[in-house]
Amino acid sequence: MSEGLSRRSLLRGGAITAGAGVVGYVVAASSDATGTKPATAAANGYGSDEGTGTRLAALRDIPAGGGLIVAEAKVVLTRGESDEVGAFSATCTHQGCTVASIEDGLIVCPCHLSRFDLATGAPVAGPAGRPLPPVAVAVRGDDVYTS
């Protein structure tokens, strides 16, 4: 009798061990326990894992010698005559309104009509006394990203 119990216990123990092995394999196969799983294009939506940042605009949307206000990102993108792109915060340094237009080479705040130089962000008219802070951006391919 004790031999039967012992054999039954042995069989039950073997079944439990085999089941645990299968569960462990399934868990390991469905996760990346090493953390070395490569990023995929679908992970960031931009087709590449080079660099990071948020896409702000297409380069072609920034007029040469002009600028583009990306209000949702609170960034003013500027472009010289080449493809070199600069950027400033779109938050006015006077009282924090978002600048709203670019006129005659100047970035204009609608609240109290401060105007900032498009190339340097320096205030040139109105009550703002400090320049628009620069923002780091990067051109990758045909698009401009925060960097």
Among 55, 100, 105, 111, binds ligand FES (CB under 6 A): 111
Closest among 12, 144, 147, 1 to 69, alpha carbons compared: 144
Among 59, 97, 100, 124, binds ligand FES (CB under 6 A): 97
Among 95, 103, 119, 136, binds ligand FES (CB under 6 A): 95
What is the phi/psi pair of residue 75, to 5°?
-135, 140
Answer whether 68's CB lies under 8 Å from 124's CB. Answer: no
Tokens for 89?
A: 């915060």
Q: Does 92 bind ligand FES (CB under 6 A)?
A: yes
Q: Does 101 bind ligand FES (CB under 6 A)?
A: no
In the complex, least distance from residue 103 CB atom to ligand FES, rounded to whole angstroms:
14
Closest among 80, 50, 81 to 145, alpha carbons compared: 50
Chain positions contacting ligand FES, by CB under 6 A:
92, 94-97, 109, 111-112, 114, 126-128
